[in-house]
Amino acid sequence: MLLIGVVKAYRLVLSPWLGSSCRFTPTCSAYSLQALERHGAMTGSYLTLHRLARCNPWCEGGHDPVPLEKRRLFTHLVTPLSKKKS
């Protein structure tokens, strides 16, 4: 998969040069690899971008594993049929 290759290239080439500054465990690149392998390109990319957006100086960080079950994207925007009033 191309995205996994990009992350592995980052870990090999850029990560040693930039140094370790990730606030989370596992690191953002390890999280990305796990997310892409476990959830595929679309959801894995979403999870990775969401994680990178949270990695900032104002975030505490800490342990943040990849979710075990696949998240459904955009479900918070749609009301389930069972909850709609007739």
Between CA 78 and CA 8 the distance in angstroms is 36
Query: What pLDDT score was predicted for residue 77?
Result: 60
Average pLDDT over residues 21-41: 90
Instruction: Count Cβ atoms below 10 Å from residue 3 Cβ, excluding itself.
Output: 16
Q: What is the pTM of this model?
A: 0.74
Query: What pLDDT score was predicted for residue 74?
Result: 60
pLDDT tens-digit profile of 43-82? 999 999 999 998 888 888 889 999 987 666 565 566 666 5
pLDDT tens-digit profile of 74-84? 655 666 665 55
Give the position of tokens 């953002």: 28
Q: Which two tokens stand for residue 14?
A: 């850029």
